[in-house]
Amino acid sequence: MFDLDGVLADTAVLHRAAWQQLADEIGAPLDEATAGRMKGVDRRGSLDILLERAPRSYSEAEKVALAARKNSYYVELIGRLGPQDLLPGARAAVESVRRAGLKTALASASRNAPQLLDRLGIAALFDYAVDAGRIARSKPDPEIFLAAASGLGVAPEECLGVEDAAAGIAALHAAGMAAVGIGRAQELDKADVLLPDIAAFDISRFIA
């Protein structure tokens, strides 16, 4: 099973731009350290991190409105996406899993995952997809991966997950799954296997 943001497409830069726009509007500082903590976390969790250093506190209703505002910025940005925005090797990685006779699932913290899959032209490559709108607890809780395994009809211990965030690696391990990390060792040191990018993913090394 695959994460979406940062694994198959670099939509993380769009999230960052949308959060930056909101941060600028409310006067909340958004440095790289704060942005790094928001990586792989769902929208509400990310908002809570951003608001830790906001100049004032916000009511629950205001937080709901702020999250919706950020999402509107993000949706506007993803409306410009197309298949050309897949990361190099992403389509080939998913296709290789299908050719090997294995089932594929998407497990994304983005509530916009279905729209993203359509825009990127890869929706048909997945047997099952779970996004943040279908679960109660976000990564590092294992719920999203357990839901994906259930949707595939596969036992968690028979699953392999591909993630680019520490929260995702932790969630995979909590679900009893093997974890492939995509990115830098200092952020993903808990991954069972570390790859520099999705183009380096080779399913044969895991099923031989």
The answer to whether residue 164 is catalytic is no
Active-site entry in 3, 42, 131, 164? 3
Residue 159 CB contacts under 8 Å (≥ 6 apart), including other chains:
1, 145, 148, 149, 152, 175, 177, 178
Task: Give me the catalytic one of 5, 42, 131, 164.
Answer: 5
Is 5 labeled as catalytic in the residue annotation? yes
Angle between helices 43-51 and 12-26 (to 10 degrees): 40
The per-residue DSSP string of 12-65 comes to: HHHHHHHHHHHHHHHT----HHHHHHHTT--HHHHHHHHHTT-SS---HHHHHH
Catalytic residues: 3, 5
